[in-house]
Structure 1
Amino acid sequence: MMRNFQDHSEKGSIADAKVLRRFKVQKLATPEELSRLHVRRLARLANNGVDETLWQHLKQCDGLGCWNTSCSAACVFGERREINRLNRQAAIVHRSDQRPKYFATIIDPHYFRPPGELSGFSINGFFQGIRRRLRGAPDQWKSARIAGGVHIAYDRDEDGLEFWSPHAHLTISVEATKKEVRQVLMPRRVPPPELVGAKFAPVTVKAVTNLANAIAYATKVEVDARGAVVDGRGNVDRKWFSIPVAARVEHDLWLLNMKPRDRTFLSGMKVGRGGVSTRNRG
């Protein structure tokens, strides 16, 4: 059943999560986990001097329905409800498409931001850059089905420099090779010289092994922290570290200014009154 996105019922949310579990989506947050995240977020906002008028609407949220006519992405219940629904329905659309499926990650360093400047990151600008590249792609891309979104990581390089690093994760159904997918999605601007080389790959492309899990990976609930570690051969790996409270609060405030589905990306699909359906780009 394709539920519309105005259905805020607990029954609908449970049904979406149940299907995603059947699709073997990993790290699907339980209601109890979402409640803990919600309580921690409210405590951070209260304990760090954030104007209560900006977030007092979140106090009513309990995951059993929606008390607010206009939800924000900072509500873990509201964001998960809408994102889970989109992920479930996009997976169904992808499953009906017989073309090769790829999982692509795009990292464009021009959108990196230092701590304290996450509000300057334009998620719409990031998406517009991807759409421009899709418009210039070969003809078979006009019918490509793409679902995913942006996840924000808090990174630390090997010199100790910390920065916000937006990643776009896209699941794609298209008649193309991995190399061709990489060429289409590659950011057109030259990366800053200090970021060229082994520190990151602007685009990585893999074959999809778990469709619904690939789609859901794009919009994880919490921000990640990844510190660079250099091995004896000079290769850079990533190791988790504890995110500063100030950075978590900054991320909370960033989410407060967005709607629940603002982090998501669709191309060749659309959200209508009946849920997610296909569309072709002209």
Structure 2
Amino acid sequence: MMRKPLCPPFNVDQAARRKRIRAGMVDRDFPDFEPLDLVAKQQAQMMRRNAQSSDCRWSAVGQCTADDICREPNRCQAACLLGNWASRGDTILDAHDQLMSHSSQFHLVTVVNWGWARDTGNLYDLKPRSMHRWLQRRIQHLKGIRGIACVEASLNTVGSIELWQGEINLVSTGASYQELSKALKLSSSTPVPKPVMIKAIQPGDLAHVLAYITKPLPEGRVAYEADNGRQAQRYVRVPSAHLREHDAWRMSMLMRDRLLVIGMRLAQSGTEKCR
């Protein structure tokens, strides 16, 4: 029996799509959206560090090139960085325009729940769908809220301890700072110093922030005590061994699985929707 390929057949209109995404980012004040040659380099590095993987899906991901991205990246695995570029491009442009059509006041919300922390080696146990359900329960009474949320896992180092910390980043409109803060409040006993952070977004920065929350690769953060006695953190490179674990985590899901669309419907099908 012939096996069904991981990705759909390639589309001959990829050049037009790339041009449309780039032009759309410029029109939305974000000309610095990741260049495809950089993404292709990251994809090549990812393929090299997973060269010894027994997962046969890596061979299909290796078929994507900057000049030949599959035509329906939302049906491809989230590990594919080139497919992710195309999928994110469509999502950012559509979400930007819909959010701007509703309001000019936006918030970036980051929720870091200690219950979403996982030991290194156990990232596979972090389930975006359960995190989505948590967010849905917390905001279901905010009838006017619209936005897009994305699940992320960062590699956090505290002293000699390394762990994956799951978090939700949400770009929203239709709910005030006070409403969001009350709806998403976490227990004061959590070991996370700032479990919920809410910042205003300037309209000109909206596309840039949407790109940030949907980025595919993880950040590394090292906690330390600042001169004022408060806990702070600095960003560091994630080691290859941990990147491989994150790659395998993304390989276990489709492009759409980390996203939750709230109160609106994007033209690109596949993302999980809330109301």
TM-score grouping bracket, smaller chain normalisation? 0.7 to 0.9
Asked whether the equivalents of residues 108 and 172 of structure 2 are also in contact (C-alpha less than 8 Å), the reply is yes
**How big is the shift at 1:99?**
6.1
Unpaired runs of 5+ residues, structure 1, are: 1-5
Q: Counterparts of 1:126-165 in structure 2 under 5 Å?
A: 126-135=131-140, 137=141, 141-157=142-158, 159-165=159-165
Matched, 1:101 2:100: no
SS in 2 for 1:95: helix
SS in 2 for 1:153: strand
Q: Which residue of 1 aligns with 2:3?
A: none
Aligned match for 2:215, one of 214, 220, 225 = 220
CA deviation vs aligned residue, 1:243-275 (integer Å, no higher than 9, x gap): 2221000001011111112222211012357x6
Asked whether the equivalents of residues 142 and 280 of structure 1 are also in contact (C-alpha less than 8 Å), the reply is no
Q: Which residue of 2 aligns with 1:179?
A: 178
Asked whether the equivalents of residues 120 and 163 of structure 2 are also in contact (C-alpha less than 8 Å), the reply is yes
Q: Which residue of 2 aligns with 1:3?
A: none
Aligned match for 1:32, one of 31, 37, 43 = 37
Change (3 A) 1:23 1:7: farther
CA deviation vs aligned residue, 1:178-229 (integer Å, no higher than 9, x gap): 1221111234xx47x5x43xx4312111111122222222111321101012
**How big is the shift at 1:177?**
2.9
- CA distance in structure 1 between the aligned counterparts of 2:117 and 2:25, rounded to whole angstroms: 32
Aligned match for 1:59, one of 52, 57, 62 = 62
Structure 1 runs of 4+ aligned residues shifted over 6 Å read none
SS in 2 for 1:216: helix
- CA distance in structure 2 between the aligned counterparts of 1:155 and 1:28, rounded to whole angstroms: 26
Aligned match for 2:89, one of 71, 74, 84 = 84
Change (3 A) 1:71 1:242: same
**How many residues are paired up?**
260
Asked whether the equivalents of residues 226 and 241 of structure 1 are also in contact (C-alpha less than 8 Å), the reply is yes
SS in 2 for 1:262: helix
Q: Which residue of 2 aligns with 1:245?
A: 240
Asked whether the equivalents of residues 79 and 261 of structure 1 are also in contact (C-alpha less than 8 Å), the reply is no
Change (3 A) 1:53 1:248: same
Aligned match for 2:229, one of 226, 230, 234 = 234
SS in 2 for 1:265: strand
**How big is the shift at 1:94?**
0.7
**How big is the shift at 1:113?**
0.6
Change (3 A) 1:22 1:167: farther
Q: In structure 1, what residue type is equivalent to 2:164?
A: W
- CA distance in structure 2 between the aligned counterparts of 1:97 and 1:67, rounded to whole angstroms: 30
Matched, 1:116 2:121: yes
Percent identity of paired positions between Structure 1 and Structure 2 = 21
Asked whether the equivalents of residues 102 and 205 of structure 1 are also in contact (C-alpha less than 8 Å), the reply is yes
* TM-score (structure 1 length as normaliser): 0.83
* TM-score (structure 2 length as normaliser): 0.85
Unpaired runs of 5+ residues, structure 2, are: 1-8
**How big is the shift at 1:20?**
1.8
Matched, 1:260 2:255: yes
Asked whether the equivalents of residues 143 and 280 of structure 1 are also in contact (C-alpha less than 8 Å), the reply is no
Change (3 A) 1:150 1:62: same
Q: In structure 2, what residue type is equivalent to 1:203?
A: V
- CA distance in structure 2 between the aligned counterparts of 1:90 and 1:67, rounded to whole angstroms: 20
Q: Which residue of 2 aligns with 1:44?
A: 49
